[in-house]
Chains A and B, each alone.
Chain A
Amino acid sequence: MSNGFSLGEILASVLIVLGASFALIGSWGLVRLPSLMERLHGPTKASTLGLGAMLVGSIIYFQLVKGEWTTHELLVSLFLFVTAPITANMIAKVHLHRLRLGARPGPAGPPASAGADSDWATYTAPRAGTPGCFDED
């Protein structure tokens, strides 16, 4: 490279700026989207790629610039992918409970029905014989 930057440094900085932009867009979504369920989409997704790009940038920086092989970033992204849906699910379930207690639903209206003879598991206990139900009968 002409003015003293190595390829690794340039790649790493591009990835870090890209990741930071996605994190910023995710936060902006949190501010501008209309209600809780829509706001949940911004941070759960825009930030997965944001953080992913920053972690790849970190791997490249340590590999090409410092000459060390690091693997911690892979673990961070693995745990992020395993835990992000659970956080979103917990917030969404609290939202369902609040809807039942009379909170105003967002632009999507109240949740769709779960068939004619059933309800969502947040509202009633799972029946015996459903997948993952450990009741013996």
Chain B
Amino acid sequence: MMNRILPHPGLSALLVVVWVVMVNDLTFGALFLGLVVGLGVPKFTDAYWPARPRISFAPAIAYVGLVLWDIILANFVVAAIILFKPERDLRPAWLAIPLELDTPEAITVFAGTISLTPGTVSTDVSACGRFLLVHALHAPDPAAEIARVKARYEARLKRIFP
């Protein structure tokens, strides 16, 4: 019963918050319209999104903090490479990262994290769903880079999406 009215409680909460932030005004009217959107959108898109990932929230919040910090560091690293590293010293490389994550949500978050952080852009996933193709701006040692990304992000994501 509860599942039929609220198929995705997390998405509903997110939509209400985004609506109120967008209106920039915490009034009854804004909250009411936000609730209409927050209840309506998940209800009507439910057919396209049948399964709901299980998420543990405490490690997820710690993960957001870690990624924000890494984005700030990444910008300085990439800026230094752009400004000071001559082209002949640059070692761009393709990395095929073997995946241990096995849900689409977890793989999507992993790929997004890789795109936002130090000198790496995720490009593609393999047809068997077990490898992620990543382009690194400067990776003199591709194996070490793969191990670093897996230890720093994938290990944490495995705890968030158990």
Contact = CB atoms under 8 A, between A and B. Distances in A.
B56 interface: no
B71 A49 contact: yes
A107 B138 CA distance: 11
Contacts of A50: 75
Interface of A: 22, 25-26, 28-29, 32-34, 37-38, 40-42, 44-46, 48-50, 52, 70-72, 74-75, 78, 81-82, 84-85, 88-89, 92-93, 95-96, 106-115, 117-127, 130-133
A131 B75 contact: no
Contacts of B24: 70-72
A126 B129 contact: yes
Interface of B: 18, 21-22, 24, 71-72, 74-75, 78-79, 82-83, 87, 90, 92-96, 101-104, 107, 111-112, 115-116, 119, 121-131, 133, 135-137
A46 B111 CA distance: 18
B126 A114 contact: yes
B116 A114 contact: no
Nearest to B97: A112
Contacts of A117: 128
Specify the main secondary structure of chain B where it touches its partner.
Answer: mixed
B94 A111 contact: yes
Given A44-B115, A109-B94, A111-B133, A93 B78 contact: no
A52 B72 CA distance: 9
Given A41-B78, A72-B24, A132-B104, A118 B92 contact: no
A48 B115 CA distance: 11
A115 B104 CA distance: 20
Contact of A29 (B74, B82, B131): B82
Q: Which one of B78, B101, B126 has the greatest number of beta carbons of chain A within 10 Å?
A: B126
Contacts of A45: 71, 74-75, 78, 116, 119
B127 A127 contact: yes
B75 A120 contact: no
Contacts of B112: 82, 85
B151 to A, nearest CB: 20
Contacts of B129: 126-127, 130-133
Contact of A96 (B87, B104, B107, B123): B123
Contacts of B103: 131
Given A41-B119, A132-B107, A119 B127 contact: yes
B92 A121 contact: no
B21 A72 contact: yes
